[in-house]
Each structure stands twice: as structure tokens, then as C-alpha cells.
Homo-oligomer: A and B are copies of this chain.
């Protein structure tokens, strides 16, 4: 492209003012800049656009007269493009309320927030952590537009649209040095007589228990706690075993104890992390953008 939008702007201004000097004043630049831009255009196109009348300013040649409206049109197109492009970012500006299940949040939310902030600088995502009984309510009440949670918490609720993002196979958690930890894989039947530390959260509680019951096993629930890290600490301190979906980067508890994780031999239905939204509502552009980003995030995560 031999010419620039800048040069076109100068050409149009000079044509409108009939003088390079006046155009330069209007553009708040110096007169030689405008002169040079016009001379360059004329050279590029091989056509004389203006007649120089010295003390009388400049007059458009027939060629210049024909070019003027086309230059205006191109500049107008450029302005439209600009506002359209700026609008892409602008429309996303604003706040998006998102809910997230507490145990999922630390694993993904921080990185999701960073990524979304980078891609959509004007967009402000506010994440509220909640339990499985609260999140669907929050969606329905309008407290959030999207929620990140486990599919087992939704059941057959027809009001919610759940988009699967990732699958997690539950695993068994044992204290380091536990006799069962020597096996590479464990069967739930091996654990039937062992004390279970249950993550005692709505839905999650039922989800874990149902994994046993599906195999005809009645687990011995020795401890119940609603805290994820408390589960890990209890297990690491020898109070029993547990079953979890998500696995932190280190098998180390807050109180410095070591854990051992073992996959489960028995075929279990995995837990699916889903992105949930209200079936009836039309999605805002912010929500669509967040959903798109989250989709990509988990696709990359799966690789």
C-alpha cells in the first residue's frame, strides 16, 4: 500500500481549505508536513491533484476533484472500522457475575480471571464461591449469570443449561505409609472396613457415597467436614481415607503431612465440571465471551 490514511486526511483537509497552510492549522501540524504528504500522493498516483497558485493557495485539478469524494469515503470507512473495533472491546466492558463451587475455585478461577482480564481488559469478572445448593439458586435469582460446578449437583433441572468443561476421576486419599498405599490401584471393596473421612458438602456428600453404594458397599464414615483441606489433614494424620475429585499440585497438607493418592480400580462415573447458565435467559456478550474463554481454557487444560 503506497499511501497512508494520514496522507489522505491531509489531502482532504487541503482540498477543503483550498490552502495547505489553512489545512495545516486545522490539523494542528506544520505546513510542510501537509505539502509533503500531498506531493507524495501525487508521486504515488502519478497524477497532479492540485494546481499551485502560489499566493492564491491551491486548486483541485479535475483528477483531484474526482479523487476527493473517494478519499472521503475511504476515510469514513476507516472511521467506521475503528468505532466497530473499539466497540468490540467496549461492549464487553462492565461487570460479569460468576458463581463457582468452593472446591473447584482455587484450581481454576485465579487463572481464568487472569486470562479474561488479559483478553478483555474492560471486563470485570466477579466470582462468588458457593455450595451446590446455593449456586443454582444464585443463577435463578440473577445473582450470577454463569456458574462453575459439578454436574452431579444439577440433576434433572430443566431450567439450567450445563456445558461440560472437564472430567475428573475420583481418587483415593491415604496417609503416607498406609498399608493400602502400597497398591498402585485400589478397589473400593478394599476400603469397606476402613474409616472414611467424608467431604461433607451438599450433593458432593451424596455423590461420593453413591460411588460406594453403586458397588454395594456401605462405607464407614468416621469423620465429616465441610472443608476440603480439613479432609486432607484428617487423612494425612491417620484418621482414615477419603475420596476426592480434584488433586492439588502437592500432596502435602497445611500442617506439613504427606498424602498418597491412588486411582480407583472400579469403573466409576467421573465428576464433570460444567459451566451452567439459565436456559431461558439470553446471554450477555460478556457472558458469551467468558464462556468462550473458559471453553478454550479447559480445552488447553485437557491437553
Contacts and interface: CB of A to CB of B under 8 A. Distances in A.
A183 B39 CA distance: 52
Interface of A: 1-6, 9, 41, 44-48, 50-53, 59-67, 70-71, 73-75, 77-79, 81-82, 84-86, 88-90, 92, 94-97, 118-122, 140-142, 144-145, 278, 280-282, 284, 288-289, 292, 296, 300
Contacts of A46: 86, 89-90, 121-122, 282
Contacts of A86: 44-47
Given A59-B142, A70-B85, A141-B59, A47 B120 contact: yes
Given A5-B5, A48-B119, A63-B284, 16 more contacts: A1-B5, A1-B75, A1-B78, A4-B5, A45-B82, A46-B122, A47-B85, A47-B88, A47-B120, A51-B119, A51-B142, A52-B280, A53-B140, A61-B292, A62-B284, A66-B95
Contacts of A60: 142
B292 A51 contact: no
12 contacts: A1-B75, A1-B78, A2-B82, A45-B82, A45-B86, A46-B122, A47-B120, A61-B119, A61-B142, A64-B142, A65-B142, A70-B81
B95 A62 contact: yes
Could you say which of A5, A6, A296 has the most chain B C-beta atoms within 10 Å of its C-beta? A5
A5 B121 CA distance: 24
Q: Count the copies.
A: 2
A3 B121 CA distance: 19
A86 B278 CA distance: 47
Given A2-B82, A140-B53, A62 B121 contact: no
A293 B92 CA distance: 54
Contacts of A70: 81, 84-85
